[in-house]
Amino acid sequence: MARDYYEILGVSKDASEAEIKKAYRKLAHTYHPDKKGGDEAKFKEVNEAYQTLSDPQKRQQYNQFGSNYQQATGGAGGFSGFGGAQGFSFDDIFGQTGFSFGGGGFEDVFSDVFGAGGSRGGSRRQTRGRDIELAVDISLEEAYTGISKSIDLDLNTTCEACDGTGAEGKKTKQCPTCRGNGYVEQQVRTMLGTFNQRVTCSTCQGKGTIPESNCKSCQGTGVKRQKKSIKIEIPKGIANGQTLEMRGEGEAAPYGGAKGNIYIHISVKPNKKFERRGDDIYLTQDIVYTTAVLGGDVDVETLAGELNLKIPRHTQSGEVFRLREKGMPHLQSRGYGDMYVTIRITTPRHISRRAQQLLKDLQSEGM
């Protein structure tokens, strides 16, 4: 029996979309195979669970049919009915019960029944390259300034020898199976009748052409497995848990298909000195008793460096000073958050005899 998707992500069945997303990012970060101690099998399991539960329609079907929901629903992805109806049930045709669908468009059904493009034009569908997910840890200081990181990956890349065509010398000829159309026609019988079906040509993968001779470097696939260094630009102001997307930078697809994407899940490590709340920064600053009573200047550390903070007379422990625009930069916009400095008055552990006498004199005067 397949494992329960909710159990895999460690969430309850009534978990919100935000809770599901948060659980996924945490587990993806833990099990990512590119990370030391990662687990590829568990990462795939977590990803499979998230792909279902993050989609409201798939989640509804999963809750009804379990992990076999795709077979139970025919892989159709849901009916929206005819003429704009909100739902469609097999009861309407066969008088049967037990199956009902809501959500997606009726055209989705025809896409599955008729193959790539159905009877509506025979569009060519090519395999898309695999998406890559990475977990990257950065410091709060790096989140403040932004940073570039280079990560080495082992992935399918476009074959340079044939430029992804799969053809030796990039020389191609018309596909004899589909005669250059990229698809072939078949007849298929379904519960709705017999239809002409246009399916992607398996010989040319929908391109309409095939190599005159296969590329010797990639054996005609158009891709090669090799190491590649990816440069990641992490913008300033990014927050813990946010995800960056690099479109078209993922794995190359065989036979000239579109490249996948790269998704970078950012984890900002906690800072011992500063606390971040949104784009504001919070700091506790220690001062001595005499500075609190008489006033003075103290050097306060910020993410941009030290600055001088004037402490007025009679400052109390716990008072908060606001330093405008000394917090985190706003992501992809101008300006900064603020910094809030909480004063903490410290008591010396050891004082001289003269200091003790002075304090006694002050005490006798009611201070």
Structure tokens that stand for 99 in this block: 């199956």
Segment 295-316 mean pLDDT: 94
Tens-digit pLDDT profile for residues 30-77:
887 767 777 888 888 888 888 888 888 888 888 877 766 655 444 443
- 302 has a pLDDT exceeding 60: yes
Q: What is the pLDDT of residues 237-268, one digit of tens each?
A: 999 999 999 999 999 988 777 899 999 999 99
The predicted-structure confidence for 188-231, as pLDDT tens digits, reads as follows 776 556 777 788 888 887 888 888 899 999 888 889 988 989 99
Backbone angles phi, psi at 344, to 5 degrees: -130, 120
Domains of the chain and CATH, by start:
139-270 (2.10.230.10), 275-364 (2.60.260.20)
- Residue 170 binned pLDDT confidence (cut-offs 50, 70, 90): confident
**pLDDT tier, 92 (very low <50, low <70, confident <90, very high otherwise):** very low
Q: How confident is the model at residue 123 (pLDDT cuts 50, 70, 90)?
A: very low
Token pair, residue 353, equals 């005899």
Mean pLDDT of 98-103: 36
| pLDDT at residue 105 greater than cutoff 80 | no
Cα–Cα distance for residue pair 69/90, rounded to 1 Å: 16
Q: Comparing 365 with 333, which gets the higher pLDDT?
A: 333
Beta-bridge partner residues of 88: 101
Mean pLDDT of 151-166: 88
Better-predicted residue by pLDDT, 112 or 330: 330
Q: How many whole angstroms separate alpha carbon 244 and alpha carbon 241? A: 10
pLDDT of residue 226: 87
Q: What angle do CA 159, 164, 169 make, to 5 degrees?
A: 85
- 262 vs 87, more confident: 262
Indicate the pLDDT class of residue 182, thresholds 50, 70 and 90. confident
Phi, psi at residue 147, to the nearest 5°? -155, 150
Give the C-alpha separation, 140 to 147, whole Å: 11
**pLDDT of 11 strictly over 50:** yes
- Give the SS3 label for residue 161: coil
Residue 316 is predicted with a pLDDT of 94
More confident of the two residues 105 and 356: 356
Q: How confident is the model at residue 364 (pLDDT cuts 50, 70, 90)?
A: confident
Q: Which of 246, 330, 238, 265 is nearest to 21 (CA)?
A: 265
